[in-house]
Chains A and B, each alone.
Chain A
Amino acid sequence: MSRRTIEIALVVVGLALCTLAYLGKKNVQGWHSGFEFSPTTSQIVIGLIGLSLVWILVRTLQDKAVGRRTVFLYVGIAIALPLFMSIDQDIVISENTRHVYESLGELPPGSKVLVSFDYDPASSPELQPMAEAFLAECFRRDLKVIMVALWAPGAIQANIALDTVRARLGLDTTELVYGEDYCNLGYQAGREFVIQRMGTSFEAMFGTDVRGTPYRQIPLVRNVRNFSDINYAFNISAGFPGTVEWVQVAVSRFGLKLGAGNTAVQAPQVYPYLRAGQLQGLLAGINGAAEFEKLIGLKAVATTYMLAQTFAHLIVIAFIIIGNIAYFRGERETKLRGRTQ
């Protein structure tokens, strides 16, 4: 078999597995309601993965180091299989997550909350659950939500989050009124300059909302001129412009009270701002979202994803250990060879 044939065969097998996994999680027109492993099956699967890792370790000790494709395969398994498992984990709530929750708790009903959706679909698996949980809590507390986006896809991400929240909370149009309880002002190009301009005038940057309604005709924002009319802001960010820019411009220059939700990779960058009191809480990655879900008593996607996160971390740790064993073995052999020479 030629290399190309093997590659095509692998792609076909991969696609078939993905389709199976997709159908397994989906309720297909009453055909079946999705697969889920029983706790016993889950434990057997975990045991098998553990045993195979031990086998890899033994192979490594026999100087047969695994290639990157094997690592890829294990990561794929570690992320995909937990989605079919029903193991409950006790999520520990961090102080940073608690601060976001408490900040919302301090706001009286009717307060205006600005939410900036500064991310794209790529980081949505990590940030969208955060956005949904945050919006759900705002609506539950009767806070008025003004949504903006400094990333072009952010405006649609906001709409998708709203659709999910409304479906989950069962709020129909008579209960949650667009323009009065929430509004989506959409995307504005210009990155951190938009934040700076919002410091003097929201209307200058967002002349209309995503529906094309002029700013002055939206009851919720009619009297919102700049940041001084906002009680709390929450920035969900995957990069630039994001939390750092919101802190540097909106918090430092205009005194906005800000909380943030970041991807796990980006979170360490905003820790100095947390310690300096410039950020009122942080939801870091999917963990942060799961912690927030636990605080608000909502068991949604982030909580489900946490099992996959646990598995992925364990697999990475296992491979680092295996890699180090291989390294030390190699070092020892080099030294021995040096001595014999």
Chain B
Amino acid sequence: MRRTVPLLITGIVGVVFVVSYFIPHKPFSNLNDWFSDWFSIVAACAIVLGSLNLILISSQKVARRKEDWGYAVVIIVCFLITVIAGIAGGRGYQNTGTAFEWLYRYLYVSLSSTMYAILAFYVASASYRAFRARNIEATMLLVAAFLVMLGRVPIGDVITQFLPEGARISDFQQWIMDFPQTAGQRAIMIGIALGLTSTSLRVILGIERSHLGGGD
């Protein structure tokens, strides 16, 4: 029963989505919208579930004085402050000037941007460590990378300004992006799409059930 019901729901919803793509007539169009609405509702409700789990595990960590329990205190305090600021703001909690918006603009934006900015450092160090002209293919990749990196910034054209228009680095860069890169992307996308289709079909038909917690 614990598996049959989820399998049934998956199967029915999957089939309805596929069928409604081809049959616009009611009830399929309605069912499609209805399931979409339900997904939004379940996704919104599930956030509460996750938050409760976070608080529960963090509280247990503090109560049992587990290693690094200080971080758990920070999580709980920050969580409560954000929730209270959001609720206090009412319907317009996202509007300019509310406490929530202040937290968002001056804390969350800075923290998130910092995390994203770290990428610049990691891209450089990973390239330095791993980008080697080990063989012909790797060398071609390296040359393409150089052309794209130089062609994406104005200095590329400054270096090659003695060349006629249409033969400068930015043009090579655009050609690489438009053709070899796009061709590669398409090949990967076709492969992935087939993998997705096959997996979806297995899930809809109930052949694949490992994601529901193992075998039969």
Contact = CB atoms under 8 A, between A and B. Distances in A.
Interface of A: 68, 71-72, 74-76, 79, 89-92, 94-95, 120-125, 153, 155-156, 159-160, 163, 186, 188-191, 193-194, 196-197, 200-201, 204, 208, 210-212, 264, 268-269, 271-272, 275, 285, 287, 306, 309-310, 312-317, 319-320, 322-324, 327-328
A194 B36 CA distance: 8
B94 A159 contact: yes
Contacts of B146: 317, 320
A215 to B, nearest CB: 14
A74 to B, nearest CB: 8
A72 B154 contact: no
A284 to B, nearest CB: 8
Contacts, number: 161
B71 interface: no
B91 interface: yes
Contact of A193 (B36, B121, B154): B36
Provide the main secondary structure of the chain A interface: helix
A320 B128 contact: yes
Given A156-B104, A320-B146, 19 more contacts: A76-B121, A92-B154, A125-B113, A153-B104, A156-B94, A159-B96, A204-B37, A210-B94, A212-B92, A271-B181, A275-B182, A306-B153, A310-B154, A312-B120, A312-B124, A316-B124, A323-B128, A324-B131, A327-B134
Contacts of B112: 120-122, 124
B101 to A, nearest CB: 6
B133 interface: yes
Given A121-B112, A122-B116, A322-B128, A71 B121 contact: yes
Which of B32, B152, B157, B158 has the largest count of A CB atoms less than 10 A from its CB?
A: B152
Interface residues of B, number: 57
B154 A189 contact: no
Interface string B64-97: 0000000000000000000000000001101110
A68 B153 CA distance: 25
B198 interface: no
Interface string B133-171: 110000000100110011011110110000000000010
A211 B154 contact: no
Contacts of B40: 188-190, 193-194
Contacts of B36: 190, 193-194, 196-197
B127 interface: yes
B185 interface: yes
